[in-house]
Structure 1
């Protein structure tokens, strides 16, 4: 249950700035509050999840790897329950758990190598016989010891001292290993955070390769990733953009006005279309660009509602469909097995609730997300470059551990 301190509406920026000063549980509850209110969505969800898991690793108390994995999984489960439609939460949790397993495995291998070297150093050595003439000098350790009572007591105490004091060095070593593991995992999570923040710029770096001079590009409900991709291409290419928007807009609202202004300023002609008029323009289109919220193991994607209309129209006219997605959005599960949900939007956009009695007899749903089957996607453009459907399994195997691929955080 959210605390009474959450009566105000915090922002993600304020939350991230306060992570180092407030308790871990309060930070988790604050992020859950933002996720439930949908104040954090889209690419910000991945960034917020990574920040929170970093705090879990840094602040929580754990004595071994299993405890740390359990704490990360439990936090991921709570965040996923607060935002069931955000598959990227599970992706980041799987990445962090795989990172923990890798670092723990490296530390374990290093310890085993150290133990092996220590065991070799304790093996009895056979005295070597010198081939040089003359008497062979012997070390003091090899000289025979007289069997007096004093010498027997000294030998007994010397032999027992390593055994009686063994527990202290081992305890200190285990503590040092956990401290080292904590530092390594924190460094790894920071690398994941850098990957998330740089993904859009890296994807945009391939824009001038995918878009050619004179192209007609259709962008359906362009996300910030698509906008950055188009603006990067506009800096080097001259082409035309068809911006497809929802069928109904609020009175006086100009869809994607800021994007159109930026494109026009770079010399690129931008034309707004209604989604129900796509088929009329599709013969002129050279390629369709859409953004993915998640890319599933079978190649299907979770995207904005209505993108399937553009993708199906493109297939009818043999136009390529390019999906933009950072690798951190790759979800190694089958959508039919994960109980995938899609976000519900504001139904008042389509129904006037001032009608009263007529609306009471209706149940209107406005689904703002949908699933696009893999056969409608031609290229997956990621921060690692263009990919085909056949390469998705390899990428996911490189970024997720086999033990974590079946992890489902959305189940109660």
Structure 2
């Protein structure tokens, strides 16, 4: 039997390992290839984009902030055009552009403040040494007959100026502590991108910490094709709660697969005392009246509160809304897009139909036109709460989250990233 080639298929891990040995342009082309072939999808796109932009900052030649912004924006636009249905790519590009502007502004402010401090120091240096200060309680004035000691009354305090009481500045100029240069800015931006990468990697664990608040003992929870984010959320809740999970969207194993879908998740939940029930997609509506809440994962959260989700999740959200069941959405803040969904997003992304039908099933397949939608759009009125790595949020708080993470200059980046 010929060895399986699956282990040689390019993926995110192999791409990250190849970054050190490739040129910047070769790394960019490699990631574009993976994005076009959908070998890097979902949260992996955010991580890969951040890594790629870090390489742009570290390896590319630039001499000022404008050149750096242009290089980051150019590379980010190429990545976004390679995967137009992955909004997180544009989100990370915007975050990095805002980071560069912030760091450049801090350096500029540091330069201006250091110049002001130097000017103040120059003005405050006396032309000649100050005379010796008299006793704190006495003021010596000069008269025709000589010096006379006068008591320091309130009137004298207001009328007599003592130049020795003026404060002197002895602090070190900020320009010495924080020099503004290309190397310094490069280092600061790299540190900022690494913080964004840490945020992406820790988002699922931070979201899971709020699981016991959202899930109560005895709940019946419905999940549709749970992702890693949802799995961690359920496992964390199972450590403190006893409830029942309905896993919808389960399809029978293909080609004699050894394990049923989501067997690892079911084993973890069963070991914690949580019962799991598998449902086929067409049996979802029959169980909705018994469900207490629906938990779905968001690929992206748009400015209006709408969601980009995996195909089928919108059916679960619509059914829950019809029966007044709360819908809980999980997603890190790096998935929040400062734009409204386009008509293309609302209509859904079309994928290959080979997962549903094959030409081996007969000649009748040639007469069929099969559409396989791989993404859905969930309107904001179907969502009750958004659980992020910053905590649970409502639709009314989305604007403040976007304002905290994106600068106004990057809000108009939509057309540049979206045009093919």
TM bucket by the smaller chain?
A: 0.7 to 0.9
Number of the residue aligned with 2:153: none
Number of the residue aligned with 1:34: 34
Number of the residue aligned with 2:389: 383
Number of the residue aligned with 2:234: 230
Distance 1:29 1:182 in 2: 23
Report the TM-score, using the length of structure 1 for normalisation: 0.83
Q: Does 2:327 match 1:351?
A: no
| CA separation of 1:271 and 1:129: change in aligned 2, threshold 3 A | closer
Q: Does 2:187 match 1:183?
A: yes
Q: CA deviation at 1:175?
A: 9.2
Number of the residue aligned with 1:205: 209
CA contact (8 A) 2:99 2:192 kept: yes
Q: Does 2:276 match 1:266?
A: no
Distance 2:346 2:49 in 1: 19
Where in structure 2 are the equivalents of 1:243-282 lying within 5 Å?
243-245=247-249, 250=254, 252=256, 254-282=260-288
CA contact (8 A) 1:255 1:272 kept: no
CA contact (8 A) 1:289 1:323 kept: yes
Report the TM-score, using the length of structure 2 for normalisation: 0.82
Alignment size in residue pairs: 367
Q: Does 2:226 match 1:218?
A: no
Q: Does 2:392 match 1:374?
A: no
Q: CA deviation at 1:351?
A: 2.7
Distance 2:261 2:234 in 1: 16
CA contact (8 A) 2:85 2:345 kept: no
Number of the residue aligned with 1:11: 11
| CA separation of 1:126 and 1:268: change in aligned 2, threshold 3 A | closer
CA contact (8 A) 2:350 2:374 kept: yes
Number of the residue aligned with 1:292: 298
Q: CA deviation at 1:354?
A: 3.0
Structure 1 stretches lacking a partner, 5+ long: 1-7, 134-172
Number of the residue aligned with 1:109: 109
Q: Does 2:415 match 1:411?
A: no
Where in structure 2 are the equivalents of 1:303-318 lying within 5 Å?
303-318=309-324
Q: SS where residue 351 of structure 1 aligns?
A: coil
Distance 2:369 2:46 in 1: 33
CA contact (8 A) 2:318 2:382 kept: yes
CA contact (8 A) 2:238 2:274 kept: yes
CA RMSD of aligned residues (A): 2.5
CA contact (8 A) 2:346 2:377 kept: no
Distance 2:68 2:365 in 1: 51
Number of the residue aligned with 1:164: none
Q: SS where residue 214 of structure 1 aligns?
A: coil
Structure 2 stretches lacking a partner, 5+ long: 1-7, 134-176
Q: SS where residue 351 of structure 2 aligns?
A: coil
CA contact (8 A) 2:107 2:180 kept: no
Distance 1:130 1:87 in 2: 67
| CA separation of 1:247 and 1:130: change in aligned 2, threshold 3 A | closer
Q: Does 2:96 match 1:96?
A: yes
Number of the residue aligned with 2:84: 84
Q: SS where residue 314 of structure 1 aligns?
A: helix
